[in-house]
Amino acid sequence: MTYPELAQTIKALTDGETDDVALMATLACEIHHSDTRFDWTGFYRVVGPELLKIGPYQGGHGCLVIPFDRGVCGAAARTGEIQLVEDVDRFEGHIACASSTRSELVIPVYNGSGALLGVLDIDSDQPNAFSQADAEALDTILRDIFGKL
């Protein structure tokens, strides 16, 4: 599935929905099943100061809690910047929630007021699985959906 097709499907499925967890569940499912590179796809939600907790996801078990000062997800939440990691073994402080993860893409998720809701975390069992084009297309989808909240 192409990203424009994915965006259209997600938009149709979520039209009028305002619950962030329902949106996260739908996006995790649709994104995960849109590409065979995606081994684990899910959201970590901001639940307190400098703290993420696992939200809706697809794939094997994930880490339950991630502080902003740890791992790729924490870096995305802390800096507000997309994290595109070609080799997780070379990312200082990487948290190995799954030993199969080789590369990772993490995108901060904001609501329409600019508040950080959490991060979208996509893991792959392939090294260097993600491109800047993946990051930009998925970031656009997230902004379109969560920016309305």
Domain edges within the chain: 3-146
- Residue closest to 67 by CA, chosen among 88, 102, 95: 95
The whole-number pLDDT of residue 101 equals: 85
pLDDT score of 121: 97
The pLDDT assigned to 57 comes to 97
Task: Quote the pTM value.
Answer: 0.95
pLDDT digits (tens, 9 = 90+) for 64-112: 999 999 999 999 999 999 999 999 878 877 777 777 789 999 999 999 9
Residues 22-54: tens digit of each pLDDT: 999 999 999 999 999 999 999 999 999 999 999
User: In CATH, what number does 3-146 get?
Assistant: 3.30.450.40
How many angstroms separate the CA atoms of 89 and 50, rounded? 24
* Bridge partner residues of 124 (DSSP): 103
Report, as an integer, the average pLDDT of 122-149.
97
Region of 3 on the Ramachandran plot (φ > 0 left; ψ -120 to 50 alpha; else beta): alpha
